[in-house]
Amino acid sequence: MPVFTPTHHTDTHATRPGRIARRGGVRGVILAILVIAILGAAGVYAMMSMRSSGDDARTIDLYTVSRSSFDITITSSGELEPRRQTEIRSQLESTNAILEIVDEGIIVREGDLLVKLNSDQIQNQLQEETLRVESARADFISSQNAYDIQVSENESNLRKALLKLELAKIELQKWLEGDVKKEKLELDLAIERAERRLEQATEKLEETQQLFERDFSSREDLVNAEIAHLNAKADVQTTQIDLWVFETFAYDQRYKQLTSNVEEAEAELDQVERQNERQLANRRADLTNRERQLSIREDNLAKMQRQLEATTVYAPTDGLVIYATSTGRGRGGMMMGGDGPMQIGRNIRPNELIMMLPDTERMMAIVRVHESLAGRVRPGQTAFVTIDALQGQTFEGRVHSIGVLAETEGWRDPNLREYTVRIALDRDNSDGLLKPSMRADARIVLGNVEDALATPIQAIFREGAVSYVYTPRGTRFERTPVAVGRRSSTHAEIVAGLSEGDRVLLREPSSGEVLDTEFDQEQLARLREAAPRMMGMPPGAAAMVRERGQGGAQTGAQPAAAARPVSATEGESTQGGEGATRRRGESSENAAPEPATETNGAETDTQTGVIES
C-alpha cells in the first residue's frame, strides 16, 4: 500500500488550483472557437439564404417578354335587370293606405290581385259627385226646355211681325191701285152730275122766267127755280172743291199714313228679329253653360269611378313580384326618411312605384362605364358577365345599347361621369337562376390582339410623354423606353423597344434598385422611326412623329419627373410625342372616347309602367 506522508498531502492540496486554472483556460479557448465557428457558419448560411431568397424574389418579379394574343377589354360593374318589366304605380291622385298586398317573391298570373288601397274617401267623393251630376242634369234639362220655348216664341213673334208688314204693304198697294182711282172717279162723277144738274136748273130757271113773264107760271115757281139753280151751282162748286182737297191734301195724307204703316211694320220686324236673336243667344249661352257644367260633372264622376277602380290593382301580365322598397331606388327613399317597407297600412303617394313584375326569362346586365371609355363601346360587342351570387359563374352576352347622356354620382363624387351600358345576356333564364338586382361584373371585349409582342400592363411606366419598362442590368434595373400599342386591362402590346425573350420588372423598384441614367436619345429616335412602321402608318408619318417628338426628347434630358405606372384607361401615347400620331392611326377599338349614340330603348306604359328594354 502506498504511504501518504503529511508533506505529500500538503503538496497535493497546494498544486490542485493551478491545474484547474490551466484546464479552464484551454476549455474557454476551445469554446470560444466553437462559438465563433458556429456564428460564422450561421452568418454564411444566412447570407446564402438571403441571397437565395433575393434571387427567388427577383425571379418572381421578372417577366419574360413573349409573343401572345389577348383581348382588349374593359371592366365595369352593375346589377342585373330584366329586359322587360312591368311597373305597378299608384294611379290615385291622393295618398291612400294599403289594405291588402300580395306577398313578395311569388309568381303571379295575369288578373291576380296585387294590391288593394283604402277607398273610403273616394267612395264619399263619388257619392257627392253623383248628386252634383244629377243637379247639373236637371239644370241642363230646364235650360233645354227654356231654349225650346224661346225658339217657339221667337218664331211666333216673327210670324206676327211679318204678317203686319205684309198687311201694311197690301193696304198701301190696295189704296194706290184701287182706292185712289175709285175716289178720284167718284169725285169726277160728282162734279159731272153737279154740272148737269146746274145745266138743268139753269134751263128750268130760264123756262120758268119765260113762263112767269107770260103769266103762265107763278112767282113761287120762279123762286123755286131760282133756288134750285143756286143749289145746283153750289153743288158744282162743292164737288170741285172736294176734288181739289183730295188732290191737294187727302191723297198725300193717306199715302204718307199707309207708307208710315209699312215702315213701322218693317221696323217692328227688325226689332222682333233682334230681340229674338238676343233672347235666343241668352238661352243658348245658358244652355251651353249648363251642358258644360253637366259634362264637367260627368267627367269628374267618371274620373272618381276610375279612381275607385284604381284602388284595386290586378296583374296586367305574369311575373315575379318585387316590392319597390326592395330595389335600389326604394331603399334610397327609405334611407332618406321614406314611409318604410311595403306592407299593410303603409301610405302610398300619387304615382308612387309600388312593385314591379319583371319578366325574368331574358335578363340584362346594367353596368356603368367611365366616360373616357364609353366612346369605345359599340352595340353588338361581346361581353362576359360574372355573377358573385352564383359563385362567380360567367355568362356571355352582347352590348345592347349605350346611354345617351353621362350620369354622375351626385354628392359622393360630383366629378365622376359614367355612361350606362346595357348588356343582353344570351342565356335563357326560364329556370329563374338569374334574379334582378344581382351584382354583376362585366368584361366587355372591345377587340383583340393576335400574335403580338406583349407584356403585363403593370410593367409599363410613364414619365411625361415617354413610356418605359424596367429591365435588369446586373443586380439593378435601368429604364428602357418602349412604344406601346393596343392594350387591355391586363396586357399591352409592345410595338418597339423590346425583343422576344427580354425580361421586365413587374413592380415599381425602390430608389436603390434603379440605375441613375437618362434616356438614350439615339434609342428614342430609333423608337420614333420604328414605331410607325410596326404600327402600319403610311410613309411620312415618322417625320410627323419626329417633329411632334422634340418636346418628348427634351423631356428625357430634363431632371426625371415622378414616374407612374400606366393604366389601361390612359391614352396610347409613346415617347417623343408619338402618342398624338398613334391616336390618329389607331383602330376603332382604340379611338378617342366619343358620346354614345344608342338609347337604352325603354318604353313605359302609362297605367302599369311596362318598361321594354
Residue 268 clears pLDDT 90, i.e. is over it: yes
What's the burial of 316, exposed, middle or buried (CB within 10 Å: 0-12/13-18/19+)? Answer: middle
Q: CATH 2.40.420.20: which residues of the chain?
A: 453-590
Mean pLDDT of 77-84: 90
| Backbone torsions φ then ψ of 24, nearest 5 degrees | -65, -35
Lowest-confidence pick of 54-63, 180-189, 277-286, 329-338: 329-338
Residue 103 clears pLDDT 90, i.e. is over it: yes
Structure-block grid coordinates of residue 391: 359563385
d(CA 34, CA 23): 17
For 131-178, the pLDDT digits (tens) are 999 999 999 999 999 999 999 999 999 999 999 999 999 999 998 888
Higher pLDDT, 315 or 607: 315
**The pLDDT of residue 529:** 74
Residue 78 clears pLDDT 70, i.e. is over it: yes
The confidence band for 582, taking pLDDT boundaries of 50, 70 and 90, is very low
The confidence band for 551, taking pLDDT boundaries of 50, 70 and 90, is very low
**The pLDDT of residue 515:** 86
Q: How many CB atoms lie within 10 A of CB 251?
A: 16
Please list, in sequence order, all residues whose beta carbon lies within 8 angstroms of the beta carbon of residue 388, skipping any fewer than 6 positions away. 438, 439, 440, 441
**The pLDDT of residue 527:** 79
**The pLDDT of residue 221:** 85
> DSSP E strands: which ranges in 371-427?
382-387, 393-402, 407-408, 417-425
Higher pLDDT, 370 or 489: 370
Residue 55 clears pLDDT 60, i.e. is over it: no
d(CA 360, CA 427): 11
**Percent share of the chain, pLDDT over 90:** 41
**The pLDDT of residue 279:** 93
The confidence band for 491, taking pLDDT boundaries of 50, 70 and 90, is confident
**The pLDDT of residue 564:** 52
Query: Class of the 453-590 domain?
Result: mainly beta
Angstrom CA distances, 78 to 369, 422, 440, stand at 10, 10, 5
At CB < 8 A and 24+ separation, what contacts does 351-354 make? 351/89, 351/90, 351/91, 352/89, 352/90, 352/324, 353/87, 353/88, 353/89, 353/324, 353/329, 353/609, 354/88, 354/89, 354/90, 354/114, 354/115, 354/313, 354/323, 354/324
**The pLDDT of residue 59:** 60
Q: What is the CATH T-level fold of the domain 122-310, as seen in this structure?
A: Helix Hairpins (1.10.287)
Report helix, strand or coil for 476: strand
Give 486's strand partners. Answer: none
Higher pLDDT, 340 or 324: 324
**The pLDDT of residue 130:** 95
Residue 587 clears pLDDT 50, i.e. is over it: no
Higher pLDDT, 244 or 2: 244
Q: What is the dihedral of CA 473, 478, 484, 487, to 10 degrees?
A: 80
Q: Do 565 and 508 contact (CB within 8 A), yes or no?
A: yes
Please list, in sequence order, all residues whose beta carbon lies within 8 angstroms of the beta carbon of residue 200, skipping any fewer than 6 positions away. 232
**The pLDDT of residue 58:** 54
Report helix, strand or coil for 53: helix
Q: CATH 2.40.30.170: which residues of the chain?
A: 72-117+317-445
The confidence band for 218, taking pLDDT boundaries of 50, 70 and 90, is confident
The confidence band for 420, taking pLDDT boundaries of 50, 70 and 90, is very high
Of residues 398, 400, 490, the one with CA closest to residue 445: 398
**Percent share of the chain, pLDDT over 70:** 75
The CATH number of 72-117+317-445, from 3.90.550.10, 3.10.129.10, 3.20.20.10, 2.40.30.170, is 2.40.30.170
Mean pLDDT of 103-108: 90
Strand pairing category for 347-348 and 312-314: unpaired
For 455-483, the pLDDT digits (tens) are 998 999 988 888 899 999 888 898 889 98
Give 76's strand partners. Answer: 442
**SS3 per residue for 524-553:** HHHHHHHHHHHCCCCCCHHHHHHHHCHHHH
DSSP string covering 162-218: HHHHHHHHHHHHHIIIIIHHHHHHHHHHHHHHHHHHHHHHHHHHHHHHHHHHTTSS-
The confidence band for 73, taking pLDDT boundaries of 50, 70 and 90, is confident
| Backbone torsions φ then ψ of 426, nearest 5 degrees | -75, -20
The confidence band for 585, taking pLDDT boundaries of 50, 70 and 90, is very low
- Buried b / exposed e over 550-584, threshold 16 CB at 10 Å, is eebbebbeeeeeebeebebebebbbbbbbbebbee
**The pLDDT of residue 128:** 94
Give, in degrees to the nearest 5, the angle at Cα 536 between 530 and 539.
75
Q: Do 526 and 545 contact (CB within 8 A), yes or no?
A: no
Mean pLDDT of 340-360: 91
**The pLDDT of residue 584:** 31
Residue 365 clears pLDDT 60, i.e. is over it: yes
d(CA 202, CA 289): 89
**The pLDDT of residue 532:** 60
Residue 54 clears pLDDT 60, i.e. is over it: no
Mean pLDDT, rounded, of the chain: 79
Residue 554 clears pLDDT 60, i.e. is over it: no
The confidence band for 328, taking pLDDT boundaries of 50, 70 and 90, is low
Residue 425 clears pLDDT 90, i.e. is over it: yes
Higher pLDDT, 209 or 543: 209
d(CA 12, CA 154): 172
Q: CATH 1.10.287: which residues of the chain?
A: 122-310
CA–centroid distance for 183 within its chain = 94
Higher pLDDT, 583 or 240: 240
**The pLDDT of residue 133:** 95
Report helix, strand or coil for 323: strand
Q: Do 303 and 122 contact (CB within 8 A), yes or no?
A: no
Q: Maximum distance among all alpha carbons in the chain?
A: 267
Structure-block grid coordinates of residue 148: 225650346
What's the burial of 597, exposed, middle or buried (CB within 10 Å: 0-12/13-18/19+)? Answer: exposed
Residue 602 clears pLDDT 70, i.e. is over it: no
